[in-house]
Structure 1
Amino acid sequence: MKFVVKSFIFSRIWNYEKASLINSFDNHDYLEKGISQLCLVNELDDSLLLVASNDGNIRIWKDYTLKGKQKLVTAFSSIHGHKPGMRCVDAVVDWQQESGYLYASGELSSIMVWDLEKEHLVNSIPSLSACSISTLSASQVHGGQFAAGFVDGYVRLFDIRTPEMLVCATRPHNQRVERVVGIGFQPGLNAVTIVSASQAGDIQFLDIRRHKDAYHRFEAHTGSLTALAVHRHAPIIASGSAKQLINVFNLEGELLGAQKIGSVSCLAFHPYQVLLAAGAADGCVSIYADEISAAK
């Protein structure tokens, strides 16, 4: 019944059924560093809140739902090797419950793999690109496997359990080369498909067994795509745009519903329920259930 909202340097926890604020606290004191991502660690049992800043710093909180009683468990820099003096590396991270790994990258040539329990850097994987990584997604089924989207439209799949680590690389977003803004693994326990969305508005489905071009694509928006969410279990995906529109699709690309909102900045599905949270650039947060209907 709770969800967490990021806002510059603040973390706010809300009861979405009652639309009531449960707790609010500062993550750090540096406004220019902001917050890039929130993740729940051990979400089903005594969960922790992982907060990533744009500079790559990670802070993990416990008791984050108790008003004024949140406690900082640990803090560290997840990004190594960036140029000295860089205030912001546009860090992107994702947490993998299966392996206990945190993956982190940004405007640098490597992807850092952290064992959070040991607070130990497991590996530094070359990104194999001169371009920076714009989005990361860890498989919640296969520990050690993750996908990365790049600003030049490339998508690369890695598996740290293999000697080469790079499984495949493809450039599905090649009609209008714009950054990959969202990536995720297809729902289900035998996920072999990656869903990828570019800023140009196209969504691509990639079969990682084929190691070739996308087997299915469709236009979700006419440019300005800003966010993608893939449900972990239900066969639905959602995309949002700066043109104030959220679209919900099935895995065949058929439009199931649409909703007008402010300029969309982020989207996230509930991990188990069919609920979609959407954040807008004006600070408004909306929750949608499976009764989403097409906009008229």
Structure 2
Amino acid sequence: MITLKGSRITSMQFINEEDVALLLAGSDDGLIRLYRKFDQPEVELVSAWRGLSDILPGSRGSGLHCKWQQSNGYLFVGGDSRVIKVWDAEEELCVQEMPTRSVSQVTGVSVDPSGIMLLVGFIDGSVKLYDRRLPPTECMIANFSESQSRVLQVAYVGYQHQEFLMGTANGDVMLWDIRQRARTLKIDAGITDVEINGLSIHEHGLLVGCGSNTQNIRVLNLMGETVGAIRYNEGFLQRQASPIHSLAFHPRRLVLAVNTATSVSFFKSNAQNFVSSF
């Protein structure tokens, strides 16, 4: 179990998933931490550096959000800042900065396989598309906006990566066609009468995991059917109630990471596919 003092984990991701997987955690103080042996009693901190140094004064509501690209070792980082940073993770070196051209804070980042096109979700409910090849003043090339609810995650999906999924705090999960600039699907992933705090999209399994401040977690498919459910504080020795802040699916294994204000825990399914209960 991973715990932090004085900061809040706002983003998690499994990286190096085809070899010895590491857990990447971003926190609202702008720090990025890498852990290994995260599924063992003695978790080991591998590395840490400051992913965002220009956090907006008095603003730690969004925190830090990032997307790892395995093929080139780049980490795309945004959050309580007016810029998106691209990091060479091996060198811990920032290789590019792009202005968000938004007054809202970044709440989710996704990148296509080429590492050129970025989708970025914002606290005002919008998703913007950026082209890294263009000058900073011209790199924002499209805006997708239908919801006014905070975007919790955005993810490229589909074989040609011409579609993306976005999930919001009010439970809406929407599929968008990038070329047509049109929404093609909308489902309700909400937990009754409760705002969703954490949401994760499995880009290959096309599943959505969502968690609330009551520590209920649902896993559902794009037909809106619940295929898994977790009560985070069940057990003889119940955990102290703490809202769920973020979720993260492992890209290759049946593992879901769940982060609260006090810890990060992991849930695993013994099923052979994702269409089963956790």
TM-score scaled by structure 2?
0.76
Bigger radius of gyration among the two: 1
Amino acid at match of 1:157: L
Distance, in Å, in 1 between the alignment partners of 2:56 and 2:186 is 37
Give 2:16's aligned residue.
42
State the identity %: 30
1:200 maps to which of 170, 179, 189: 170
User: Aligned-residue CA RMSD in angstroms?
Assistant: 3.4
- Superposed CA offset, 1:220-255 (max 9, x none): 214502222222322322223334433333234344
Distance 1:71 1:285 in 2: 17
**Residues 44 and 219 of structure 1: is their aligned pair in 2 closer, same or farther, counting only changes over 3 Å?**
closer
CA distance in structure 2 between the partners assigned to 1:44 and 1:152 by the alignment: 35
- Aligned to 1:215, the other structure's residue is in SS state strand
Q: Deviations over 1:103-129 (max 9, x none)?
A: 122222111111223332222111111
Report the equivalent of 1:155: 127
Aligned-partner residue type, residue 267 of structure 2 = S
Q: State the alpha-carbon separation in 2 of the partners of residues 269 and 279 from structure 1.
A: 12
Match of 1:79 in 2: 52
Separation in structure 2 between the aligned mates of residue 119 and residue 232 of structure 1, nearest angstrom: 26
1:281–1:287 Cα change, 3 Å: farther
Deviates more, 1:188-197 or 1:85-94: 85-94
Q: 1:132 aligned to 98, 102, 105, which one?
A: 105
Instruction: Give the 3-state SS of the residue equivalent to 1:146 in structure 2.
Output: strand
Calculate the TM-score normalised by the size of structure 1.
Answer: 0.72
Query: Which structure would you say has the larger RCO, counting Cα contacts within 8 Å and 6 or more residues apart?
Result: 2
Distance in 2 (CA, whole Å) between partners of 1:147 and 1:6 is 29
Contact 1:33–1:88 (CA under 8 A) maintained in structure 2: no
Structure 2 matches for 1:214-233, cutoff 5 A?
214-221=183-190, 222=192, 223-233=194-204
Gaps of 5+ in 1: 10-30
Whether the 8 Å contact between 1:89 and 1:108 is mirrored in structure 2 is: no
Instruction: Decide whether aligned partners of structure 1 residues 234 and 291 sit closer, same or farther in structure 2, where only a CA change above 3 A counts.
Output: closer
- How many correspondences in the alignment? 261
Label 1:41 to 1:276 Cα distance change in 2 as closer, same or farther (>3 A).
Answer: closer
Partner of 1:12: none
Q: CA deviation at 1:152?
A: 0.8
Task: Give the Cα separation in 1 of the matches to 2:256 and 2:36.
Answer: 25
Alignment of 1:103-252 (within 5 A): 103-139=76-112, 141-162=113-134, 164-173=138-147, 177-186=148-157, 188-212=158-182, 214-221=183-190, 222=192, 223-252=194-223
State yes or no: 1:253 paired with 2:224.
Answer: yes
CA distance in 1, matches of 2:25, 2:134: 29
SS of 2:63 mapped into structure 1: coil
Residue identity matched to 1:267: L
3-state SS of 1:210 partner: coil
What pairs up with 1:14-33 in 2 under 5 angstroms? 31-33=5-7
Distance 1:259 1:70, change over 3 A: closer
Matched residues in 2 for 1:245 and 1:89: separation? 21
Is the contact between residue 2 and residue 43 of structure 2 (CA under 8 Å) also seen in structure 1?
A: no
Which residue, out of 265, 271, 278, partners 2:251? 271
The answer (yes or no) to whether the contact 2:255–2:266 under 8 Å persists in 1 is: no
In the alignment, is residue 93 of structure 1 matched against residue 73 of structure 2? no
Deviates most, 217-226 or 238-247:
238-247
**Residues 64 and 154 of structure 1: CA distance in aligned 2, closer, same or farther (over 3 Å):** closer
